[in-house]
Amino acid sequence: MTAVPSTEATSAVLEVARLTLDYDIEHGAVRAVENVSFTVGKSERLVLLGPSGCGKSSILKAIAGFIKPTQGHVLIDRRPVKKPGPDRLVVFQEFDQLLPWKTVRENVAFPLKVARGKSSAEARDIADDALAKVGLARALNAYPHTLSGGMKQRAAIARALAAAPEVLLMDEPFAALDALTRVNLQNDLLQLADELKFTLVFVTHSIEEAVLVGTKLHLLSTHPGRTIATFETGAFGRDSLGTPEFRDIVKDINDALFVRAAGIAA
Ligand SMILES: Nc1ncnc2c1ncn2[C@@H]1O[C@H](COP(=O)(O)OP(=O)(O)OP(=O)(O)O)[C@@H](O)[C@H]1O
Task: Give pLDDT tens digits along the chain (266 positions).
Answer: 444 444 444 579 999 999 999 999 998 999 999 999 999 999 999 999 999 999 999 999 999 999 999 999 999 999 999 999 989 999 999 888 999 999 999 999 999 999 888 999 999 999 999 999 999 999 999 999 999 999 999 999 999 999 999 999 999 999 999 999 999 999 999 999 999 999 999 999 999 999 999 999 999 999 899 999 999 999 998 899 999 999 999 999 999 998 765 655 55
Tell me the H-state helices in the chain: 56-64, 104-114, 120-133, 149-162, 179-196, 207-213, 244-254, 261-265
- Contact status, residue 236 vs residue 210, Cβ threshold 8 Å: no
- Distance, in Å, from the CA atom of 205 to the CA atom of 55, rounded to the nearest integer, reads 12
Q: What is the CA radius of gyration of the chain?
A: 19
Angle at 195 between CA 190 and CA 198, to 5 degrees: 75
- Distance, in Å, from the CA atom of 115 to the CA atom of 127, rounded to the nearest integer, reads 14
Distance 41 CA to ligand 1 centre (A): 26
What does each C-alpha distance from 170 to 200, 204, 256, 265 come to in angstroms?
8, 9, 23, 29
Residue 261: its pLDDT value, please?
58
The DSSP output letter for 258 is I
ipTM for this prediction: 0.97
As a dihedral over the C-alpha atoms of residue 80, residue 82, residue 87, residue 91, rounded to 10 degrees, the angle is: 120
> What three-state secondary structure class fits 145?
helix
Report whether residue 234 contacts ligand 1, using a CB cutoff of 6 Å: no
Residue 263: its pLDDT value, please?
57
> What three-state secondary structure class fits 187?
helix
Report whether residue 29 contacts ligand 1, using a CB cutoff of 6 Å: no
- Distance, in Å, from the CA atom of 152 to the CA atom of 95, rounded to the nearest integer, reads 6
Nearest to 15 by CA among 63, 47, 68, 86: 63
Q: Whose CA is nearest to atom 16 of ligand 1?
A: 55
- Contact status, residue 176 vs residue 126, Cβ threshold 8 Å: no
Q: Domain limits of the chain?
A: 98-164
Q: Whose CA is nearest to atom 27 of ligand 1?
A: 52
Distance 50 CA to ligand 1 centre (A): 12
